[in-house]
Amino acid sequence: MKIDGACHCGLIAYEAEADPEMTGICHCTDCQTLSGSAFRTVVPARRDSFKLRSGEPKIYVKTAESGTQRQQAFCPNCGTPIYSTTVEDEPKVYTIRVGTLRQRNEFVPKLQYWFRSAQHWTHDLGSMPSTEKQR
């Protein structure tokens, strides 16, 4: 599926091809810290389909528990996380942050990983009282 998205301020914009069936939630502690939330929702896109339409993201390289290094790309102006990818050239896959997609409603997670790190309160969000907007 053709997708496009941008950061909060609009400096960084991109387009790619992604399969909604590959959408996942990552509960790893790195994603919790880097997103400022309890988890991060992501979808992969192949290198040959990913194109920046505007801006140049700032890159931060983090080292995972496994020792693997991953580039974390974010807007240098507003700080919105855009994607992560490998440091090595191949195989290059961009793990796009679903919250930046214009089509985000079509990307329903199908898998949760690093669940051992999941915050216990995320297991049953549906039972929590909710409001339509902030009061």
Q: What is the mean pLDDT of the chain?
A: 93
**Which pLDDT score is estimated for 22?**
96
CA-wise closest residue to 92 among 126, 133, 47, 26: 47
Q: Is 113 helix (H, G, I), strand (E, B) or coil?
A: strand
Structure tokens at 33: 């810290």
Percent of the chain's residues with pLDDT above 70: 98
What's the predicted TM-score (pTM) here? 0.89
Euclidean distance between CA atoms 84 and 92, whole angstroms: 10
Q: What is the pLDDT of residues 45-86, one digit of tens each?
A: 998 999 999 999 999 999 987 888 999 999 999 999 999 998
CATH class for the domain made up of 2-117: mainly beta
Percent of the chain's residues with pLDDT above 90: 75
Euclidean distance between CA atoms 8 and 10, whole angstroms: 6
